[in-house]
Amino acid sequence: MPQDGVFSQVTAAGLYRIPLPLRLSTSTELHVSVPATRRAVDAKGIIGHKATFGSDDWDKRFGFPVTTPERTWCGLASVLTLPELVAAGDKLIARRLPQTTRAALERAVSTYTSRRGIRNLRRALGMLSDRAESPRESLLRVAIILAGLPEPTVNMRVFSAKGEFLARVDLCYPHLKLSLEYQGDHHRADQSQWRRDISRTRALQAEGWTELQFTQVDLDHPEHFLEELRTILARLSH
């Protein structure tokens, strides 16, 4: 590590377990940033960056210098799409094991000097949710918002008319009793999970809920899913 150097961007994100798309998470190159007044690192296996750092932009919690979660999120704006940036921010402020706060991210963005990705950073701040529990939930939520559809409620607990707990749904429109559930491969491959899913769906249906399921295909090509959702929202609203 060069003097005043710090692990940053994709490398720092890996250390903080920030979700990244496959094109970045499988990279073996190390990202190292140095102050803007120094020459960027140029070596095999290293992607060098130059940046302006404040005294609060890095720490040594891992035993070596790494950009803070807040500064790491800002740096990722140059390589992530808007939905991916929201998913990363959701993970950082998640109620389960949060690594920072929305307010801290807002402060970091307000003092971030780079112009690369700054527009997406500012847009992402308004879309973050500390209730999100998976990157795919976040990606779908942003796709829905960007399509001009109403923003769904995140991970809401649903109860029966008698007060019995039925389920915690990924995304939903409570007033329409419409839930959106991501079905990963483990829901299909795990027999116990598959049985629980069926029982849960039936319990929700008995209370008048409609469940709309989505998979990775819908995230890769969301046009059909979003049009289907638009149609269902219009039908249930009338």
Name the 3-class secondary structure at 172.
strand
Query: Tell me, what's the pLDDT at 3?
Result: 81
With both helix axes pointing from N to C terminus, report the angle between 118-125 and 102-111 in degrees, rounded to the nearest 10: 160
Q: Do residues 169 and 181 lie in contact, with contact meaning Cβ atoms separated by under 8 Å? A: yes
Query: Tell me, what's the pLDDT at 189?
Result: 53
Query: Tell me, what's the pLDDT at 151?
Result: 96
Neighbours of 54 (CB within 10 A): 12
Q: Do residues 212 and 180 lie in contact, with contact meaning Cβ atoms separated by under 8 Å? A: yes
Q: Tell me the helices (H) and strands (E) count for the chain, helix number first.
A: 11, 9
DSSP designation for 216 = H
Q: Do residues 218 and 171 lie in contact, with contact meaning Cβ atoms separated by under 8 Å? A: no
Q: Do residues 111 and 39 lie in contact, with contact meaning Cβ atoms separated by under 8 Å? A: no
Q: Where are the beta strands (DSSP E) in the chain?
A: 6-7, 30-35, 46-51, 58-59, 66-67, 153-159, 165-173, 178-182, 210-214
Q: What is the mean pLDDT of each run of 10 residues along the chain (238 residues)?
A: 90 96 94 91 92 87 94 96 97 95 96 89 96 94 96 94 90 96 65 74 89 91 94 92
Neighbours of 147 (CB within 10 A): 14
Strands 66-67 and 58-59: antiparallel
Q: Do residues 75 and 15 lie in contact, with contact meaning Cβ atoms separated by under 8 Å? A: no
Residue 56 corresponds to which amino acid? D
Q: First and final CA of the chain: distance in angstroms? A: 62
Query: Tell me, what's the pLDDT at 94?
Result: 96
Query: Tell me, what's the pLDDT at 185?
Result: 53
Query: Tell me, what's the pLDDT at 196?
Result: 74
Backbone angles phi, psi at 214, to 5 degrees: -140, 155
Distance CA 81, CA 51 (A): 21
Query: Tell me, what's the pLDDT at 190?
Result: 58
Using a 10 angstrom Cβ sphere, with 0-12 exposed, 13-18 middle and 19 or more buried, the burial of residue 185 is: exposed
> pTM for the full model?
0.90
Strands 30-35 and 46-51: parallel
Using a 10 angstrom Cβ sphere, with 0-12 exposed, 13-18 middle and 19 or more buried, the burial of residue 40 is: middle
